[in-house]
Amino acid sequence: MPGIAYVGGRFVDEGAATVPLATRGLLFGEGLFETIPVRNGQPFRLVAHLDRMAAGAALLDLGFLVPLDELAIAIAGVIEQNRIDQGLVKAVVAAGPAPGGPPIVAVLVPPPRPVPAAWRAAGAPVATSPVRHDAARLVPRTKATGALDRHRLAREADLLGAADVLLLDPGGHVAEGARSSIFWVRHGRLRTPSLDLGILPGITRAAALECARAAAIPVEEGRFDLADLASATEAFLTNVRFGVLPVGAVDGVARAAPGPVTIRLAVAYDKLVERETSPEGAAPHPAQEREGP
Neighbours of 99 (CB within 10 A): 10
Higher pLDDT, 137 or 90: 90
Question: What distance in Å separates the CA atoms of residue 92 and residue 70, rounded to the nearest whole number?
Answer: 12
Question: What distance in Å separates the CA atoms of residue 152 and residue 157, rounded to the nearest whole number?
Answer: 9
Summary count for the chain: helices (H), strands (E): 9, 15
Give the start-end residues of each E strand in 23-173: 31-39, 42-43, 86-94, 104-108, 124-132, 164-168
Contact 168/174 with Cβ under 8 angstroms?
yes
CATH 3.40.50.720 holds for 4-110: no
pLDDT at 96: 93
Q: If pLDDT is split at 50, 70 and 90, which confidence band does 290 have?
A: very low
Mind listing the pLDDT tens digit for each residue in 151-172?
A: 899 999 999 999 999 999 999 9
204: number of CA atoms within 13 Å, CB side?
Answer: 24
Residues 6+ apart with CB under 8 A from 11: 4, 5, 77, 78, 81
Of 209, 207, 204, the closest CA to residue 191 belongs to 209
Give the start-end residues of each E strand in the chain: 4-7, 10-13, 31-39, 42-43, 86-94, 104-108, 124-132, 164-168, 174-177, 181-186, 189-193, 219-222, 234-239, 243-250, 253-254
Q: What is the CATH number of domain 120-277?
A: 3.20.10.10
Rounded mean pLDDT, 54-60 = 93
Mind listing the pLDDT tens digit for each residue in 196-229?
A: 999 999 999 999 999 999 999 999 999 999 999 9
Share of the chain above pLDDT 70, in %: 94
Contact 136/199 with Cβ under 8 angstroms?
no
The domain limits of the chain are: 4-110, 120-277
The pTM score is 0.92
